[in-house]
Structure 1
Amino acid sequence: MSASLETIDLPHLPSSLAVHVALYKDVQNASYLRQQLLSANADFEYAFIDAAMVMSRAHVLSAIFRAVNDYSNERLKSRNVHSEIVFSLSPTNNIADSFRKFGISDSTGSLLVVKVAVTPEITHGSVAAHLAQHVQGSSIPFDDAAISQISDFAKIKKAYKLGSLPSPAASQANGAHDNEKRRLELSVLGAIALRGAT
């Protein structure tokens, strides 16, 4: 069920390029979804992101903005705008590595799905119906509270080479946890922005 599919209009980008985002936990068929992607099945042209590698809405939206902006300006480095979203999460210019670290794997349990409306027939309704039919998992809201329950901070820090920063631990007093998380998030966003500048 895709009750939590959210449609986002990104500021500074064409309003025709609406972005549809859904977040799932307890996904049972990641290997099937990955296989559709690998076989270039056009019906499954999505950005399938391992949600454990995402730490906030801002983290995801910054990658989406970069990819859609590059798509609009015909500067894609990967196959399409959806693969570019996964690539945009990476702090390096290695496309294969970005898919290994941030993309769906056979063992992915929490999944973030992004679909950009690059043609008029891609609507909230069509995406919601397709995901409801093909993703076997529990749909949850795409918000910071839900994302923080899924984030694997140790893996995120390793991917962005931020080992020296402390990990936000749930056991910390709330203020300390929020401060550590914010520092980590700013470092991650900085790494994404810097990669794009090269």
Structure 2
Amino acid sequence: MKQFELPEIIKPEGVFYLPNAYISLYNNLKNQKELQEMIINNDDRVPNCAIINAHMIIDIFQLLAAASKASLLDNQKKLKTNNVNSEIIFSLSPYTKINEANNVFGISNDCDAALVIILCEDDAKAMEINDEVTSFIEGNEIQLSELSSYTDLEKIKKFFKIDESIQDEKFVLKQVLEQMTLKGLKAE
């Protein structure tokens, strides 16, 4: 598990600090169907985290952008989903359909690698949640630096409608982030 600081937001009434993001990567998942069912059913045994299909993430920055947006919306009481964890998944999608975001970015039966993100201000609490995650997920925790070996760039380009001939991951990431940011806005 690696800790990342989310950006601070400056408001007229003062600085608002987003919680820290703690991210880990798992491979060789064995209980993805069970995890998916428990998440869909809002099972109380699910740890306070978002579990994301690692194949749809190009770079950790993509995940941090979604987490920052979800945290800010949570603070403003403007979530479009049930909680901040599902809002992270929704924020990853360029589309406004929550179910579509869950199907693409959430864990599914064929997902063999997942990213787990915990939003928390307290390191000790984050470690406690991470312990719950470790006992909850049947798989191997691996280094975040291995994410690129699980990224399915072709699937990402297809979902985000990016020209298939483009092979530059940084350009694809830029396009993905732009679409995530502009979700729901219409050009006039």
Q: Shorter-chain-normalised TM-score: which range?
A: 0.7 to 0.9
Describe the SS at the equivalent of 2:72: helix
Q: Which runs of 4+ in 1 moved over 3 A?
A: 13-16
Separation (CA, whole Å) in 2 of partners of 1:122 and 1:167: 43
Separation (CA, whole Å) in 1 of partners of 2:42 and 2:28: 25
Q: Is the 8 A contact 2:23 2:116 kept in 1?
A: yes
After superposition, what is the alpha-carbon deviation per residue over 1:89-129, rounded to whole angstroms, capped at 9, x for unaligned?
A: 000111111111111112210001112228x6971221221
Please list every run of 5 or more consecutive structure 2 residues that lacks an aligned counterpart in the other structure.
Answer: 10-15
Quote the offset at 1:196 in angstroms. 5.7
After superposition, what is the alpha-carbon deviation per residue over 1:131-181, rounded to whole angstroms, capped at 9, x for unaligned?
A: 2211111111223xx11110011110111111x24253xxxxxxxxxxx11
Asked if 1:147 is matched to 2:143, the reply is no
Aligned to 1:132: 134
Q: Is the 8 A contact 2:89 2:105 kept in 1?
A: yes
After superposition, what is the alpha-carbon deviation per residue over 1:1-34, rounded to whole angstroms, capped at 9, x for unaligned?
A: xxxx122221215547222211111111111111
- How is 1:117-128 mapped onto 2 (pairs within 5 angstroms)? 117=120, 123-128=125-130
Describe the SS at the equivalent of 1:104: coil
Q: 2:7 aligns with which of 11, 14, 36?
A: 11
TM-score (norm 1): 0.83
Aligned to 1:166: 165
Aligned residues: 179
In terms of mean alpha carbon deviation, does 15-24 or 134-143 score higher?
Answer: 15-24
Separation (CA, whole Å) in 2 of partners of 1:166 and 1:185: 15
Aligned to 1:176: none
Q: Is the 8 A contact 1:20 1:127 kept in 2?
A: no
Asked if 1:48 is matched to 2:51, the reply is yes
Amino acid across the alignment from 1:11: P
TM-score (norm 2): 0.87
Amino acid across the alignment from 1:159: F
Q: Is the 8 A contact 2:26 2:141 kept in 1?
A: yes
Asked if 1:184 is matched to 2:172, the reply is yes
After superposition, what is the alpha-carbon deviation per residue over 1:44-103, rounded to whole angstroms, capped at 9, x for unaligned?
A: 142111100000011111111111111111110011000000000000111111111111
Separation (CA, whole Å) in 2 of partners of 1:82 and 1:43: 15
Describe the SS at the equivalent of 1:183: helix
Aligned to 2:13: none
Aligned to 2:65: 62
Asked if 1:78 is matched to 2:81, the reply is yes
Describe the SS at the equivalent of 1:189: helix
Separation (CA, whole Å) in 2 of partners of 1:80 and 1:160: 25
Separation (CA, whole Å) in 2 of partners of 1:155 and 1:187: 14
Question: Normalized per residue, which structure has more strand?
Answer: 2
Aligned to 1:26: 28
Separation (CA, whole Å) in 2 of partners of 1:61 and 1:16: 11
